[in-house]
Amino acid sequence: MRLILSLLLCLPMTLMAAQVEDLYRGEVPVASRSNADQQAAIRDALAQVLVRVTGDATVATRPEAQSLLRQAKNVLLSYGYQSGTPLRLEVSFDGQRINQQLQAAQLPIWGAQRPQTLIWLAMDDPQDGRLLLSDTTTQTKALEQDAARRGLPLMLPLLDLEDTMAVSINDVWGNFVGPIATASTRYSPDFFLSGRVTQQGDNWGYHMSLYAPKRESEYGLHRALVRREGQAGTQQEAISAMMADLAAYYASRYAAVAGEGGGETQLIFEIDGDIKQLVALERYLRSLAPVQDLTIHSVMGRTITFEVELIGGMNELDQLLSLESRVQLVGADDGFEQDLSDQPRYRWEDR
């Protein structure tokens, strides 16, 4: 597997946000198959889903979410038990109805299109000393499981010869971002995170800094988009708190909240292809959280104008469009069919 991944990384890589599956499916431990335990587990599963969909780790404690949790069966689609120790209940919910209720409560809705984050994480380990996580370290599983619960698509470095020649554990521990940024380019992430998890007496602390690969200062230095730090009782809780901070930051950029600049707007795209390209473009736009409804307003040659009804503001939609490699913002010098408006225009290239 590592050889295959290494060979793939030698090929040109295209930046593309990940499509997160099973946003509205929860899986939680359940004490027994009794009706009371089942109902409690369904509520817990819905709380898990709300965290994933809103990006807010504390959403279940908010008054706006309490009525939805009390009526969890109203948005239930199916459930089933997974044998093992402990017994687990897998629950699927109606995403459309959940989104309607989140919208009515003016809670954020973070759609399935989400950024890929490359994680460079150094940590203290009681058995192995200080180590750098890779795709094969045993400590990686806890990180990946917590990220999956939050709907965070992650990548971890291979730490093969190319990586180890470019980045040392001291670079990550001290957040010397230059070597980390250079080594990150082969993975083509949407963002990369440099962090550490440290043992501090009986507690554990974490520090994280998030970067966009192409964002630099005027002096060529990478500036962090966000920095977070905190403490927790265990190593796992520190990792979980760090992932909660990451999810909260992304949700603040990409989630849509009803009433925050919503309304109707137009999107103008040029497509280079046949009806399949148009279908793919429409499917992509409908997958975005701020897009409540979408219709084709006009078709002129290769230029398609969409009428879009937004849940949140245009800023959230712009952020999501900027993540997608198949979408390019174009101008008058790009050969686009122009009119006299100042409307932003995009090119769709689904190769």
| pLDDT tens-digit series, residues 41-89 | 999 999 999 999 999 999 999 999 999 999 999 999 999 999 889 999 9
Rounded Cα–Cα distance for residues 49 and 60 (Å): 10
Confidence grade of residue 158 (pLDDT, cut at 50, 70, 90): very high
User: Is residue 279 predicted with pLDDT exceeding 50?
Assistant: yes
Report pLDDT for 340. Answer: 41
Map tokens 């790009």 to a residue. 334
Q: Find the helix packing angle between 63-70 and 95-104, rounded to 10°.
A: 150
Mean pLDDT of 91-105: 94
Q: In angstroms, rounded to a whole number, what is the distance separating the alpha carbons of residues 93 and 338?
A: 45
Q: Residue 315's pLDDT is what?
A: 83
| Predicted local confidence at residue 16, as pLDDT | 53
> Which pLDDT band, with edges at 50, 70 and 90, does 6 fall under?
very low
- What's the average model confidence in pLDDT over 7-22? 57
Q: Indicate if the pLDDT at residue 309 is higher than 70.
A: yes
User: Radius of gyration (Cα) for the chain, nearest Å?
Assistant: 22
Which string of DSSP letters, residue by residue, matches 139-197?
Answer: THHHHHHHHHHTT--EE-----HHHHHH--HHHHHTT-HHHHHHHHGGG--SEEEEEEE
CATH for 115-253 (3.90.1150.10, 3.30.160.100, 3.30.200.20, 3.40.50.261): 3.30.160.100
State the Cα–Cα distance between residues 202 and 262, nearest whole angstrom.
48
Q: Where are the domains of the chain?
A: 25-104, 115-253, 263-348
Split at pLDDT 50, 70, 90, the class of 15 is: very low
Stretch 125-141: mean pLDDT: 87
- Whether 163 has a pLDDT exceeding 60, the answer reads yes
Per-residue pLDDT, averaged over 97-108, amounts to 92
pLDDT digits (tens, 9 = 90+) for 318-344: 888 988 888 999 865 555 454 545 678
> How far are the Cα atoms of 48, 71, 254 from residue 110, in angstroms, in the given order?
14, 21, 6
Q: Is the dihedral of CA 136, 137, 143, 149 positive or negative?
A: positive
Cα-Cα end-to-end distance for the chain: 26
Residue 54 CA: distances (Å) to CA of 51, 148, 188, 218, 252? 5, 14, 26, 35, 9
Over pLDDT 70: what percentage of the chain? Answer: 89
Residue 261 has pLDDT above 70, yes or no: no
Q: What pLDDT, on a 0 to 100 scale, did the predictor assign at position 14?
A: 41
C-beta separation of 54 from 107 below 8 A: yes
CB-CB neighbours of 294 under 10 Å: 14
Q: Please compute the mean of the pLDDT values over residues 219-247 and round it to a whole number.
A: 92
pTM: 0.83
pLDDT value of position 11 = 35
Q: What proportion of the chain, given as a percentage, has pLDDT over 90?
A: 67
Residues 245 and 208 sit within 8 Å (Cβ to Cβ)? yes
Averaged confidence pLDDT in the chain? 88
pLDDT of the residue at 101? 93
Q: State residue 221's pLDDT score.
A: 77
CATH of range 263-348; options 1.10.3470, 3.30.70, 3.30.1490, 3.30.1360? 3.30.70
Is 190's pLDDT higher than 70? yes
Position 12 pLDDT exceeds 50: no
Please indicate whether the domains covering 115-253 and 263-348 agree at the CATH topology level.
no
pLDDT at 9 over 50: no
In Å, what is the CA distance from 33 to each residue of 13, 79, 275, 282?
A: 47, 12, 50, 43
Greater pLDDT, 339 or 227:
227
Give the C-alpha separation, 279 to 320, whole Å: 19
- Range scoring the smallest mean pLDDT among 210-219, 261-270, 316-325: 210-219
